Structure 1
């Protein structure tokens, strides 16, 4: 155990001490603090550690607001003020990008902040219903598979919090409770969705109990058995989540849906502003999902081609668009990591591109874009590490970062998202 002074943060929210050799990355430490640190891993070029005691605290340190913060593995950064957390991570990314690519400055824009603590409209709860142990429903604990029992969660939207006591009452009463793998919750704009993942068939008694539970709480309740799922109760035919311009997505609890509804709307608005689409533009929306960006873009341009790797999402996205009177989106299924399939997309025929890849990033796509005649690209990233990697082919071929900004999609966590506008050097 050693006394260490923390110099800065990395993009994940870990303290960095350069006085330690090799460089030490410390969980739980803030820039400017002096801490007692236990080294947990030693490697040739870096060490990792965790704070055991804060000797001199930074003014940005705060008391975590969740009573199970020290046990739950969810919100890792509740001990630091949100604005400071975003600012320090922006500084870390600024230094990393400029150093890697030899840039003097970056055109940072104001971050998109989440407006409130109860931001999370979608979550998955774990269950421990083993015989001989107390029933637990909640989240996995930090660094283990044990379940932290949760009766209230301060980051869940109020309607989901109100549902937790009812779930704690009904689930232990099920005869087949040990066959429940997890519980998925979604607060859509028009109702609540709950899906129970079963590892074996549910008895008729359990189905009746769950159906009564769903009726009482007006839930769209599904049972998921892996190869198939079935609806037990559905007061609304489709759960819907808003995107821009009064448009919406038809969703289920198992779909990828941005968990922070307010930040999602702000993100769409910013992406459209930065891309600046015109009536004559042909826009390519890659990793389009159910159409979160495609639908509002289609209202502003000549045509959109929406490309997604999951065929069922493409089919549902197309159906949803037609239901809302949008017919200028061409929906396609393609593996966007496959260069042959990318060649078939003929990237060069589009004016502007929007990218919203998963954590794996979009390196093959960026290689294609780099040598195309596309004028503008907005890249929405949920993983700064792969975003920085994907910048390589673009910057090498004469592109520039015209705007860049962070998005606080998951407050108080180590997860940070960003958006960048890329244009050919000299444009704008």
Structure 2
């Protein structure tokens, strides 16, 4: 896995505020009725009004909606559907009480099966648009539970003044939650549909705890990481917390069995339990593997989909006992170690030195001696590196959203029989697909994975075979 945070489900995707991006004008006036024709690649409704393209949040293809403008640009406008006049059969009631304000789950108004079908179509459209290609076989989507799936998140903490009322006190109130739609403001949440229930149920108590702290205003955000063995909180504070506040946090986490980290600078420090072990873990039972990670490491946040994804990647790559395999953007070994269970030798390469160290820890813990982890700048030509000179029979890559254009140019000369590409951005996957096709590969299989249900993020996997 790459040294990057996964695309956050709590990033702004839809809503009723101007986004403030360059080139934006004041929103147009009026509340017209429009017909939604199709989805954009960002899973927003597309309509036409007065000769101008209109991107509409909270709208589904085939619907007639009344809209309110949120932004105007030279070539298109943006809006939100305020009234659904003719609802689609794919529309469903909002399952989360915060859905209309929280910027996290932008597709809660859409049936889950329709969500994944739309994402599959976006993948196929992007491949056709940027690579003039279609997979020879479309793989069945990978799906799992759509609630409680997210094992990592970051909550903002902020004290805000309520709207001023004449004659009324304006005492700041605590807001704990995720960003509002198209805004830097926070939505104050007391439950979260996509977080594990063990954490979501504690949100009201967490809110009260911060309010009781003497220096609660010095807390800027809280990170949560839920492993299969424990839950960890990382409390980010702008200056050291007094002993009374520190004890309040200990009193909160200890009965729950959670780990506690305090972070006043760049380095979080574990304060409970006092065992010095700064690791959580998740398991890949099919491969008899346990992978350890620091609460701030990048890991796939949907453990159920991750297990299916690893299975599919290994199945597509089909490593054989005598083969040498390359895993690029390998992170802490999510694919590297399962590959090592099948191949003769696996080399995992990652840009972040800390993650390569974590990969070596995991290899040692799982007693795998046929795998090595290397740190390298993958935007540079690495073909002459000592670890690359032996060549590779098969290659797996899992790049960040920017894709792997330089990488696919550099790896083509290895002549690997198969390449499996795991993508979190169908546009850059399609761009890189065009490059691989030019270099003698064909796109044989591709499909989507519901890694982030209720969101607009499209996760996919593709198999390329040497012609």
Which residue of structure 2 aligns with residue 271 of structure 1?
313
Deviation at 1:82, TM superposition (A): 1.1
Decide whether the 8 Å contact of 2:230 with 2:280 is kept in 1: yes
Q: Does 1:192 align with 2:236?
A: no
Which residue of structure 1 aligns with residue 248 of structure 2?
209
Deviation at 1:240, TM superposition (A): 1.0
Decide whether the 8 Å contact of 2:124 with 2:134 is kept in 1: no
In 2, the alpha carbon distance for the partners of 1:220 and 1:248 equals: 19
In 1, the alpha carbon distance for the partners of 2:237 and 2:137 equals: 49
Decide whether the 8 Å contact of 1:239 with 1:250 is kept in 2: yes
Deviation at 1:42, TM superposition (A): 4.8
Q: Does 1:101 align with 2:131?
A: yes
Distance 1:63 1:9, change over 3 A: same
Q: Which 5+ residue runs of structure 2 have no aligned equivalent? A: 1-30, 162-170
Aligned length: 424
State which of 431, 439, 454 in structure 2 corresponds to 1:412: 454
Q: Does 1:27 align with 2:57?
A: yes
What does 1:160-239 correspond to in 2, within 5 Å?
160-234=199-273, 237=277, 238-239=279-280
In 1, the alpha carbon distance for the partners of 2:199 and 2:417 equals: 43
Which residue of structure 2 aligns with residue 298 of structure 1?
340
| SS at 1:70 equivalent | coil
State which of 33, 38, 45 in structure 2 corresponds to 1:15: 45
Q: Does 1:89 align with 2:93?
A: no
Deviation at 1:163, TM superposition (A): 2.7
In 1, the alpha carbon distance for the partners of 2:309 and 2:94 equals: 27
In 1, the alpha carbon distance for the partners of 2:129 and 2:236 equals: 46
Which residue of structure 2 aligns with residue 398 of structure 1?
440
Decide whether the 8 Å contact of 1:220 with 1:235 is kept in 2: no
What does 1:352-371 correspond to in 2, within 5 Å?
352-371=394-413
Deviation at 1:94, TM superposition (A): 1.6
Deviation at 1:214, TM superposition (A): 2.3
Decide whether the 8 Å contact of 1:219 with 1:235 is kept in 2: no
Decide whether the 8 Å contact of 1:11 with 1:90 is kept in 2: no
Decide whether the 8 Å contact of 2:130 with 2:434 is kept in 1: no
> 1:119-170: CA deviations, max 9, x gaps?
1122111111368311222212112222222221121111112332331232
In 1, the alpha carbon distance for the partners of 2:389 and 2:37 equals: 44
Moved more, 294-303 or 115-124: 115-124
Deviation at 1:87, TM superposition (A): 1.0
Q: Does 1:334 align with 2:362?
A: no
| SS at 1:422 equivalent | strand
Moved more, 6-15 or 306-315: 6-15
Deviation at 1:66, TM superposition (A): 0.6
Distance 1:41 1:388, change over 3 A: farther
Decide whether the 8 Å contact of 1:241 with 1:249 is kept in 2: yes
Q: Which 5+ residue runs of structure 1 have no aligned equivalent? A: none
In 1, the alpha carbon distance for the partners of 2:131 and 2:267 equals: 48
Alignment RMSD, CA only?
2.1
State which of 366, 384, 387 in structure 2 corresponds to 1:324: 366
Give the structure-1-normalised TM-score. Answer: 0.93
Give the structure-2-normalised TM-score. Answer: 0.85
